[in-house]
């Protein structure tokens, strides 16, 4: 199934909007010198009061902004900003390529799959008498999927003109295609070519007959599903269509990975904006303390069960 560009970009937009809303309360009053801040811990040194909550929110909204506030080295600011820009560019390009490929494989399907081919092939289909291939016996049962309009999935057919009055509906399932046999090829019958249509004609054997080369070039492949072997029926044009959809889906997957990198960049930048000034303050004050003590053990002759080492900072 092909997801459109709006899924990825919409997910990121919601993320950015949420962070922007969170910014409103934590940032209020943080430019004062009061130490009664209830939204973040306050670290006080000899010259200034540092508010970890403010650079945290800054970096969560815009990676690198908190590092600028903390006066971190420029290479660190550039690193977070570079990952941000690179991820956004990757998301845009991946979705753009996926959308272009989607239009191409849909146009390919529109040119090479039609309702009349499907009707003719399914009703008058090829000879599928039992036969031996690669030491395996194939029987009519193995090919039943392409000999019946009804199956696990269906297409939606749109009716217009007099057919609407005859069948009292504008939309009808392909499972009822036998009822429309006298009208196949009529201008009053058309397929609803939505996302499900393009997925079904490439995924399920019952629709293989709709491809223009099905009558002459259909073939099958074995698919190992663990405890059994399944028959997958294809044609060269159907395989071409599947390859195009696969490439489009690969670009969509790359866009999803880029979104993940984008999210991690925000989180890591925010954590670094909090941790870096605290670590610097502790180093300057040298407030790290250690404590070594013995652990009592009544079952030991000497009464000593071990050594405890504690580090406070």
pLDDT at 133: 47
pLDDT at 40: 46
pLDDT at 224: 78
**DSSP H stretches of helix in 28-73:** 53-61, 65-69
Q: Which residues pair with 132 in a beta bridge?
A: 137
* pLDDT tens digits along 19-72: 444 444 344 444 444 444 444 444 444 445 555 688 889 988 999 999 999 889
**Short-list 47, 48, 26, CA closest to 37:** 26
* Stretch (H or E) spanning 83: helix 74-112
pLDDT at 147: 79
**Short-list 237, 18, 52, 306, CA closest to 44:** 52
Q: Is 189 left (phi over 0), alpha (psi -120 to 50) or beta?
A: beta
d(CA 57, CA 73): 19
Helix pair angle (236-285, 195-203), 10° resolution: 110
pLDDT at 117: 92
Q: How many CB atoms within 10 Å of residue 312?
A: 8
d(CA 274, CA 23): 15
**Short-list 223, 43, 8, CA closest to 136:** 223
Q: How many CB atoms within 10 Å of residue 197?
A: 19
**Short-list 234, 288, 261, 251, CA closest to 15:** 261
Q: Which stretches in the chain have pLDDT values below 70? A: 1-52, 125-142, 282-294, 296-297, 299-313
Is the CB of residue 309 less than 8 Å from the CB of residue 290? yes
Work out the burial of residue 239: count CB atoms within 10 Å of its CB; fewer than 13 is exposed, 13-18 middle, 19 or more buried: middle
d(CA 207, CA 57): 53
d(CA 257, CA 251): 10
């Amino acid at each position: 199934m092909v997801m459109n560009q709006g899924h990825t970009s919409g997910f990121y937009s919601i993320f950015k909007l949420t962070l922007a809303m969170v910014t409103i309360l934590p940032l209020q009053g943080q430019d004062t010198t009061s130490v009664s801040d209830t939204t973040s811990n306050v670290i006080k040194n000899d010259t200034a009061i540092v508010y970890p909550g403010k650079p945290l929110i800054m970096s969560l909204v815009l990676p690198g902004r908190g590092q600028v506030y903390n006066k971190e080295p420029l290479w660190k600011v550039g690193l977070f900003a570079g990952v941000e820009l690179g991820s956004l560019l990757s998301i845009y390009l991946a979705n753009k390529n996926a959308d272009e490929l989607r239009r191409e494989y849909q146009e390919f399907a529109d040119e090479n799959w039609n309702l009349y081919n499907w009707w003719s092939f399914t009703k008058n289909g090829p000879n599928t008498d039992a036969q031996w291939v690669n030491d395996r016996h194939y029987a009519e049962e193995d090919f039943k999927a392409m000999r019946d309009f009804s199956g696990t999935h269906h297409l939606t057919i749109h009716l217009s003109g007099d057919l609407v009055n005859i069948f009292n509906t504008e939309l009808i399932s392909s499972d009822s295609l036998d009822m429309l046999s006298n009208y196949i090829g009529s201008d009053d019958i058309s397929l609803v070519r939505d996302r499900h249509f393009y997925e079904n004609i490439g995924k399920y054997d019952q629709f293989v007959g709709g491809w223009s080369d099905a009558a002459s070039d259909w073939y099958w492949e074995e698919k190992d599903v663990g405890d059994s072997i399944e028959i997958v029926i294809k044609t060269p044009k159907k395989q071409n269509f599947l390859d195009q959809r696969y490439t489009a889906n690969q670009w969509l997957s790359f866009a999803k990975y880029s979104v993940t990198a984008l999210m991690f960049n925000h989180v890591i930048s925010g954590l670094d904006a909090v941790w870096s000034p605290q670590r610097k303050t502790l180093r300057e004050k040298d407030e790290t303390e250690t404590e070594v003590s013995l652990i009592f053990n009544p079952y030991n002759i000497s009464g000593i069960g071990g050594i405890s080492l504690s580090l406070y900072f």
